Amino acid sequence: MPKYDINDPTDLDILRAQFDIISRDDWEEYIELATEKKMGYKNINILKSAAKKAGISKYLSPKVISWVMELVDKLDEAMYEDEEE
């Protein structure tokens, strides 16, 4: 994932759109994978918070959206690596 500037309105709109595309079921998969990978209490909790707000990014701060989308990117990479094995 490219590095987005949360202070740039265009970048923020892109991040929000990427967040809103993720379904509630996808969030559950990310939470399960993060738990398996032992990504840490804070990261798992922020993913749970994101799952509650699935599709409605306007209720999350830009900082949280950026953090969550970085986690999603890491988890996508981990899923891809697991599939290759």
- pLDDT tens-digit series, residues 15-38: 999 999 999 999 999 999 999 989
pLDDT in tens, the chain (85 residues): 678 888 999 999 999 999 999 999 999 999 999 999 899 999 999 999 999 999 898 899 999 999 999 999 999 988 887 766 6
Longest dimension (CA), the chain: 40
pTM confidence score: 0.86
Main-chain phi, psi angles of 82, to 5 degrees: -65, -35
Task: Let me know if 52 is exposed, middle or buried by CB neighbors in 10 A (0-12, 13-18, 19+).
Answer: exposed
d(C-alpha 4, C-alpha 21), whole Å: 17
CA gap 5, 80 in Å, rounded: 26
Helix (H), strand (E) counts: the chain: 4, 0
